[in-house]
Amino acid sequence: MKRLLLSVTAITLMAFQSCKKSDTPSALLNEQLDRKSNSEMLGILSTTTINVNPSTTLNAAFWTGVQTALASGPVDVIFDDGTYNVASTIAINNIGHTTNLLTLKTAVTEGGAIFTGSIATYLFFTSCKNIKVERLKFTGASSGYAMRMSNCIDFSLEKCFFVDLPSVAYGALGIHYPSTNRILVKNCTFENIGTTSSAHMIYCAYGVQRVSLIGNYFKNCAGSFVRFRGDLSDKGVVYDNDFISTGTYLTGFNPPFIEIPVFNDVNPGDEKMGTNFMITKNTFSYGTVGSQATRYNLVFHSSGYNPTGRTYLISTADAGLLSSGTILQKRSIMSGQLGLDGDAIRFGGNTNTNVQYNVIYRCWNAYGSTGPWTGLASIGTAINSTGLATTESAAIGYYP
């Protein structure tokens, strides 16, 4: 594959190409200076435009040039339509500016820039901030995550496509680690993801905060569609999305839609569930074919040992109360043993088709644990259905 290494100089030249050309280089420079002067007079920073295509080498030198440009104002990296065959992960490390937005997008076409390949991860953001990814498409034989971010803040994905990714082991989109905060996934499409229960459409894990999923389309996944895993991953918003499991995907999967699990493989355990979630205005639809065993909208799940301060391995008697007791009895067990606040878990105003349970607690023995009870308990009546967001802007800003 032909590769073109872009230096900082080349990036600057491409930025100039986005402006109206004059007859001479000096005229072009004067035009640039005049435009910069006018922008500064208005208090507006001009946007640097960097055009890339499938032959562009998106290596560390390229992103260093982008970071340099961000010091002067917003930057748009515009991907030409075409197929980007990724032979090694595009690593974007420590990129971003507190006030100047970096946008990675196609010029116009939604899904026009297609990332594909037979590697673990196509696009990996680490310790980045104030970035928007828009209209890109991810498909093919990625074996880990198609796109992943770690320790990132103020990050949004809009109108992106994660489709036909049967080989991902963990997720189409991975959002990880405690410094990750204020992540927005809006108007994106996720469809036909994974072949085993370990694969998810969006995998949030290890203490992420304030992930908002707004207006997305989710259809057919081998594992739970959206996962907020352990280490108090918290303050998640799921608003106005479509969740569809046809029961015809691969061998007939109908997995839970949203899962908040912990996997405690040491004793005492080292993962705890978050408890602040707002889930409303979604459509949850299960097919009447395929497995009908796990048609759950929201699952709080424990595998393994108890962590310090939590009793996930509840007694059989408490499990009975959790499933069939009064609201007061359920909330007492939830708060006293599971660390779940029924008031803080807000769920309501959703539309269900062929759903068995809205909200459950599920417990499994694993890694050698020997708890007295395993199974599931319906806790939907003990969850708060008030104080829900009623507009998109309210949903995005629900957890300030």
Query: Is 18 inside any structural domain?
Result: no
CA distance 400 to 397: 6
Query: Positive or negative, the Cα torsion across 291, 296, 300, 306?
Result: negative
Query: Is 303 inside any structural domain?
Result: yes
How much is the pLDDT for 4?
A: 34
State the residue for tokens 């280490």: 231
Strand partners, 203: 174, 227
How much is the pLDDT for 7?
A: 35
Domain count, the chain: 1
Q: By residue range, what is the domain housing residue 162?
A: 49-396
pLDDT band at 19 (very low <50, low <70, confident <90, very high): very low
Per-residue pLDDT of 206-216, as tens digits, reads 999 999 999 99
Query: Is 93 inside any structural domain?
Result: yes
Q: What is the mean pLDDT of residues 80-90?
A: 98
Query: Positive or negative, the Cα torsion across 107, 109, 112, 113?
Result: positive
Report residue 389 as tokens.
């967001």
Q: Please, are residues 395 and 240 in contact by the beta-carbon 8 Å criterion?
A: yes
Cis omega (within 30 of 0) on the bond before 400?
no
Query: Is 13 inside any structural domain?
Result: no
Q: Please, are residues 113 and 106 in contact by the beta-carbon 8 Å criterion?
A: yes
Q: Mean pLDDT in the chain? A: 91
Closest CA to 146 of 89, 207, 96, 188: 89
Query: Is 34 inside any structural domain?
Result: no
How much is the pLDDT for 378?
A: 98
Per-residue pLDDT of 217-238, as tens digits, reads 999 999 999 999 988 999 999 9
How much is the pLDDT for 357?
A: 98
CATH code of the domain in which 265 resides: 2.160.20
Per-residue pLDDT of 96-148, as tens digits, reads 999 999 999 999 999 999 999 999 999 999 999 999 999 999 999 999 999 99
CA distance 50 to 259: 39
Per-residue pLDDT of 313-361, as tens digits, reads 999 999 999 999 999 999 999 999 999 999 999 999 999 999 999 999 9
Q: Please, are residues 125 and 154 in contact by the beta-carbon 8 Å criterion?
A: no
Per-residue pLDDT at 17 exceeds 60: no
Query: Is 73 inside any structural domain?
Result: yes
3-state helix, strand, coil in the chain (%, to 5): 15, 40, 45
Q: Please, are residues 112 and 135 in contact by the beta-carbon 8 Å criterion?
A: yes
**Which run of H or of E encompasses 14?**
helix 8-17
What percentage of the chain reaches a pLDDT higher than 90?
88
Q: Please, are residues 102 and 133 in contact by the beta-carbon 8 Å criterion?
A: no
Query: Is 32 inside any structural domain?
Result: no
Query: Is 118 inside any structural domain?
Result: yes
Characterize the bridge pairing of strands 90-93 and 121-126.
parallel
DSSP secondary structure, 41-91, as one string: HHT-PPPEEEEE-TTEE-SHHHHHHHHHHHTTS-EEEEEPSEEEE-SS-EE
Report residue 248 as tokens.
């015809």
Closest CA to 219 of 261, 188, 183: 188
- Tell me which of 39 and 312 has the higher pLDDT: 312
